[in-house]
Amino acid sequence: MPFFDFLSGQFIDVIHWTDDTRDTMVWRFERHGHEIKYGAKLTVREGQSAVFVHEGQLADVFTPGLYMLETNNMPIMTSLQHWDHGFKSPFKSEIYFVNTTRFNDLKWGTKNPIMMRDPEFGPVRIRAFGTYSVRVTDAAKFLTEIVGTDGEFTMDEISYQIRNIIVQEFSRVIAGSGIPVLDMAANTADFGKIVAEAISSTIANYGLNLPELYIENISLPPAVEKALDERTSRGVAGNLDDHMKWKAAEALATSGAGDAMGMGMGAGLGMQMGGALAAQNNPWGQVQAPAPAAPAAAAPPPPPPVEHVWHIAVDGETSGPFSKAKLGRMVTEGSLTRETFVWTAGQDGWQKAEDVAELAQLFTVLPPPPPGA
């Protein structure tokens, strides 16, 4: 059988590759003893490149087209090896087909959270994930730097390395951008372009290019997202005092109405039964002492007081909201004075801090002026 394999290999003079997979990047054309005959036909299809390696040395790179492997068409091979027209080829060569089409929908993501400083929330941790596409732009460099002598090289063998490069550059870009976390969703397209351009020089050393990179999501830790949802709910509620009163009334209406109706009907029925039993036990109509009154049901506790949050207006610009405790610290620091205008939900327009009863007490805790001032 080895003799027939050798014999059949001598008569195969058409070299080509049709890829039926979706992740093969490099495939080596197999011949018996790696012998390429003089005059063989090499077919390179669109989306492919063929790298000719002679005795371990890269000889030539073929772009799409039909080639006759002869001395006239391969001047580089002529200088490397004398071609003999005999039946048996005296040299051993290899042809590697390189897929130059795009490999799309490749996944990337941050394995660990990225620490960054947000101008509004302070230090935060974020995660991100997305997709990217990659293609081979320099077949010879890709073969020498990455593939080596691998007879079949797939995308999975280099995707891990590319993901690490993307995550490293994304962490650097996102941490130094200075863009608030709440505004990052509007800048994902710009982030993707910046990251793709930043790593282009690195992967170009591998003979690769990154045509597209998409950031699908940038997320915060669950505890931070929950706090943001609560903050949004407070903003939607408007006047928190009126909102809490309405919620309390709604709770009483939904949970207590049916119970109250049932209690009323039960009380009426109990009174009727009690009257009938009293008539049976007192047929002569004697006067009896009234029964002790049942203890009244305890009234539900009032809703807890709602803490207001305040906005500040200084030189035509507003900031906030701030809690009352934060305003107290601002008074101590001197950034909030009696003349500063403040506003909270439910308040009729902006008022000076000293005119608001809830805030006026913040200024009374300051020590009086020193003697002789």
Q: Encode pLDDT of 160-192 as tens digits.
A: 999 999 999 888 888 888 888 888 888 888 888
Tokens of 234: 């407070």
| Residue-level pLDDT at 60 | 86
Which of 7-16, 76-85, 262-271 has the largest mean confidence? 7-16
The fold for domain 310-364 equals Dna Ligase; domain 1 (3.30.1490)
Q: Does the structure show a pLDDT above 90 at 282? A: no
| Residue-level pLDDT at 88 | 42
User: How does residue 11 score in pLDDT terms, banded at 50, 70 and 90?
Assistant: very low
The average pLDDT across 318-329 equals: 81
What is the CATH code of the structural domain delimited by 103-225? 3.30.479.30
DSSP 247-311: HHHHHHHHHHHHHHHHHHHHHHHHHHHHHHHHHHH-TT----PPPPPPPPPPPPPPPPPPPP-EE
User: How does residue 291 score in pLDDT terms, banded at 50, 70 and 90?
Assistant: low
pTM of the predicted structure, to 2 decimals? 0.55
Q: Which residues have CB under 8 Å from 299's CB, separation 6+?
A: none
- Measured in degrees and rounded to the nearest 5, phi and psi for residue 189 equal -65, -45
Q: What is the pLDDT of residues 187-206, one digit of tens each?
A: 888 888 888 888 888 899 99
Higher pLDDT, 128 or 31: 128
| Residue-level pLDDT at 27 | 93
Mean of the per-residue pLDDT values of the chain:
77
Each domain of the chain, given as residue ranges in start order, spans: 2-99, 103-225, 310-364
Q: Which residues have CB under 8 Å from 33's CB, separation 6+?
A: 6, 9, 92
Report the alpha-carbon distance of residue 100 to residue 247 in Å, rounded: 63
Core vs surface per residue 158-180: b (16+ CB within 10 A) or e: bbeebbebbbebbbebbeeeebe
Q: Does the structure show a pLDDT above 80 at 351? A: yes
- Percent of the chain at pLDDT exceeding 90: 20
Q: Which of 47-51, 102-106, 114-118, 263-267 has the lowest mean pLDDT?
A: 263-267
| Residue-level pLDDT at 4 | 42
Higher pLDDT, 286 or 179: 179
Q: Give the H/E segment covering residue 138.
A: none
Q: What is the pLDDT of residues 51-100, one digit of tens each?
A: 988 777 888 899 999 988 775 555 555 444 544 444 344 457 788 999 99
